[in-house]
């Protein structure tokens, strides 16, 4: 047998064959012609430089540049969750990705694609996000079969760019009932209705719709909140709001109402809480009373220049939850009487700008605004009404044209009655005690004058000295003692025994709990007791200052002092009251500044002198200069 380098030829051939197969296997394992597969660790080592989008929980990841979709995708591992494809093939066939049941995100950039067949994405039960980019700068004609999205009931996000939307089948989005986010970019459409005509009625989970780089104004629909700014929001002359039955907030602004539409579709939004309509023409509606029917959850309603000729209560009869109503009208508006009676929850009515008619049929609004306790009417005073092609102030014009004499007299009588009641209340609060004092002073003066005339007639020619003695007999007490019930124990236990039973001269004191006449009013007793006493002794304490009756006694004694110009008032401070506390009682503070007063001594040794001074002052009538101050 021949040999090479000492090895048999057969054995050498076997070794070479094994080496060749080994090298070919290694090359085929590391050289990928169309696709690359990555796992999480590889992407982390690469610094996340892979150009296609991938999520942190969407591993493994594959990226392909294909010319033959069916053949080239054989390089992708079956368990891939994210697949990004640069598509150079012309057609995406039925079930092209069915080999990847775990796929969650599919990104296709196909600048040469001409057709996507029905069922192209079948076999992808876990797919949640799909991105289709048909052109990078503008739109192009791509044929999408009606069932292109079959099997994608669980798809949540769809992004389509560069597709000429007009001409696409109305059934294309029908399977996408779970779609929550839809992004349409460069779709070649100027009519918003063409977009909404593609949406099936059951697409109730759609939260975000974005239209970019098109001639259509973007629509933001968040938490069922829909805001539309468009001249036309209709599909085949049908108001497209019916496609959003779960809306809670809807705003629609149109520049010019070019098309005559029926807006009664608004009544299908049973979950609506906030509604703002701007520049709609409700004057063309055959039955405007049906527009707000069934909106029992609506809380805020804004009608801005919607060209209503009149508003009636039948229009608002189902708006039981409405709290805020805002109105703006550039054309004359008539509010029929009782229009707000069917709105039990209404708290605010805002008239931004309403050109009313100068018609007495609108005068009821003034009466309602004045009498309504629950509802606040804002900016009514700024409104105008149209009168013979002139605009006049609404309030003043209605009052001048529509207010009758009877109404004016009722208003005047009500105002005078309220003013009288307020004056009476203020007078009672601030002047009841001075009034009582003046009343009893006047009555006492009158009684004394009548008594003096009677005595003159009776005594005839008595001497002047006898007259003085007879007048002196009218005085029954040496002193009236004014004190608080809280200090009664000291007055009865200390003051009265000391002055009436001990020392000379013995004094006669008038004490209210002992000497007031039974059955007579307390005010009469106070007045008569003061005027039947030579002196008034006030035992001042903090309780005394808080007593209304003590205050009345002090006022009467003060008035007698000022009227007769005699020192008939003696003040005893039983408590130590600071000047700051005394400042709140102006009359008493003034007396303390002008007159000498006595302090109840805390030292037992000083009390003998206190009783002597007090007895002397009562008996002699003059408070000596040695008193405390």
Say if CB 247 and CB 226 are below 8 A apart: yes
Burial 166-204 (b: 16+ CB within 10 A, else e): eebeeebbbbbbbbebbebbbbbbebbbbbbbbbbeebe
Rounding to the nearest 10 degrees, give the CA dihedral for residues 436, 439, 444, 445.
140
Label the pairing between strands 35-38 and 61-66. Answer: antiparallel
Count the Cβ atoms, other than its own, within 10 Å of residue 298.
25
560 to 296, 418, 483: CA distances (angstroms):
74, 37, 18
21 to 11, 30, 472: CA distances (angstroms):
16, 15, 152
Gap between the Cα atoms of 497 and 468, Å rounded: 31
Joined tokens for residue 422: 């307020």
The alpha-carbon radius of gyration of the chain (Å, integer) is 51
pLDDT along the chain (629 residues), means of 10: 50 51 45 75 52 66 83 83 82 86 86 83 89 68 83 88 76 84 78 72 76 57 66 70 81 69 81 88 71 88 83 86 89 81 89 81 82 86 82 83 61 78 69 58 60 55 45 72 89 89 87 84 81 86 84 77 68 84 75 78 86 86 41
User: Could you give the 3-state DSSP secondary structure of residue 203?
Assistant: coil
pLDDT of residue 111: 72
pLDDT of residue 628: 45
User: Could you give the 3-state DSSP secondary structure of residue 364?
Assistant: helix
How does DSSP assign 549-606, residue by residue? HHHHHHHHHHHHHHHHTS--EEEEE-S---HHHHTT-HHHHHHHHHS--EE--SSGGG
Label the pairing between strands 7-8 and 3-4. Answer: antiparallel
Joined tokens for residue 558: 């003060």
Q: Over 375-399, what HEC string results?
A: CEEECHHHCEEEECCEEEEHHHHHH
Q: Give the closest residue to 131 by CA, choosing from 84, 88, 200, 97.
A: 84
pLDDT of residue 274: 92
Count the Cβ atoms, other than its own, within 10 Å of residue 89.
19
Q: Given CA atoms 343, 348, 353, 359 in this order, what sign does their dihedral have?
A: positive
Joined tokens for residue 563: 């009227």
Gap between the Cα atoms of 530 and 400, Å rounded: 61
Instruction: Kindly state the helix (H) or strand (E) to which residue 113 belongs, with its residue range.
Output: none
Count the Cβ atoms, other than its own, within 10 Å of residue 391.
14
């Amino acid at each position: 047998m021949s040999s090479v380098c000492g090895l048999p030829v057969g054995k050498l051939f076997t070794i070479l064959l094994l080496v060749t197969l080994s090298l070919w296997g290694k090359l085929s394992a590391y050289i990928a012609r169309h696709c690359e597969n990555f796992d999480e660790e590889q992407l982390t080592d690469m610094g996340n430089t892979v150009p296609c989008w991938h999520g942190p929980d969407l591993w493994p990841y594959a990226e392909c540049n294909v010319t033959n979709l069916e053949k080239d995708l054989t390089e992708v591992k079956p368990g891939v969750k994210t697949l990004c494809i640069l598509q150079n093939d012309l057609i995406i066939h039925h079930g092209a990705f069915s080999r990847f049941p775990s796929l969650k995100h599919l990104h296709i950039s196909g600048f040469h694609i001409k057709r996507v067949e029905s069922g192209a994405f079948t076999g992808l039960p876990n797919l949640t996000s799909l991105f289709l980019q048909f052109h990078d700068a503008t739109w192009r004609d791509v044929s999408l079969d009606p069932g292109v999205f079959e099997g994608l009931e669980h798809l949540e996000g769809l992004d389509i760019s560069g597709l000429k939307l007009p001409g696409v089948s109305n059934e294309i989005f029908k399977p996408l009932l779970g779609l929550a986010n839809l992004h349409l970019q460069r779709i070649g459409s100027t009519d918003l209705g063409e977009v909404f005509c593609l949406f099936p009625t059951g697409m109730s989970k759609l939260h975000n719709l974005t239209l970019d780089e098109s001639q259509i104004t973007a629509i933001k629909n968040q938490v069922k909140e829909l805001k539309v700014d468009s001249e036309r929001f209709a599909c085949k002359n049908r108001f497209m709001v019916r496609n959003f039955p779960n809306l809670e907030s809807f705003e629609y602004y149109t520049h010019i109402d070019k098309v005559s539409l029926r807006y009664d579709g608004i009544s299908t939004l049973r979950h609506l809480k906030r509604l703002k309509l701007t520049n709609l023409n409700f004057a063309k509606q055959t039955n405007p009373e049906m527009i707000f029917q069934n909106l029992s959850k609506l809380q805020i309603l804004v009608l801005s220049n919607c060209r209503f000729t009149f508003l009636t209560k039948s229009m608002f009869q189902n708006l039981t939850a409405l709290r805020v109503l805002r109105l703006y009208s550039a054309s004359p508006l008539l509010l029929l009487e009782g229009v707000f009676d069917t709105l039990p929850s209404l708290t605010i009515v805002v008239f931004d700008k309403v050109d009313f008619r100068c018609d007495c049929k609108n005068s009821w609004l003034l009466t309602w605004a004045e009498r309504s306790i629950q509802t606040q009417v804002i900016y009514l005073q700024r409104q105008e009404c149209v009168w013979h092609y002139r605009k006049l102030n609404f309030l003043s014009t209605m009052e001048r044209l529509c207010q009758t004499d009877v109404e004016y007299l009722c208003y005047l009588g009500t105002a005078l009655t309220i003013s009288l009641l307020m004056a009476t209340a203020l007078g009672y609060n601030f002047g009841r005690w001075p009034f009582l004092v003046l009343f009893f002073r006047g009555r006492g003066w009158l009684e004394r004058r009548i008594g003096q005339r009677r005595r003159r007639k009776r005594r005839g020619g008595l001497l002047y000295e006898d007259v003085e003695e007879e007048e002196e007999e009218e005085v029954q007490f040496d002193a009236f003692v004014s004190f608080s019930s809280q200090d009664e124990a000291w007055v009865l236990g200390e003051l009265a025994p000391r002055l009436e039973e001990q020392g000379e001269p013995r004094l006669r004191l008038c004490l209210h709990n002992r000497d007031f006449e039974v059955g007579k009013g307390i005010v009469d007793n106070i007045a008569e007791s003061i005027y039947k006493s030579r002196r008034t002794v006030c035992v001042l304490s903090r309780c005394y200052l808080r007593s209304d009756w003590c205050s009345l006694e002090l006022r009467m004694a003060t008035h007698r002092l000022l009227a007769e110009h005699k020192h008939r008032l003696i003040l005893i401070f039983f408590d130590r009251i600071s000047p700051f506390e005394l400042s709140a009682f102006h009359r008493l503070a003034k007396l303390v500044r002008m007159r000498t007063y006595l302090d109840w001594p805390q030292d037992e040794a000083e009390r003998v002198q206190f009783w002597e001074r007090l007895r002397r002052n009562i008996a002699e009538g003059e408070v000596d200069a040695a008193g405390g101050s």
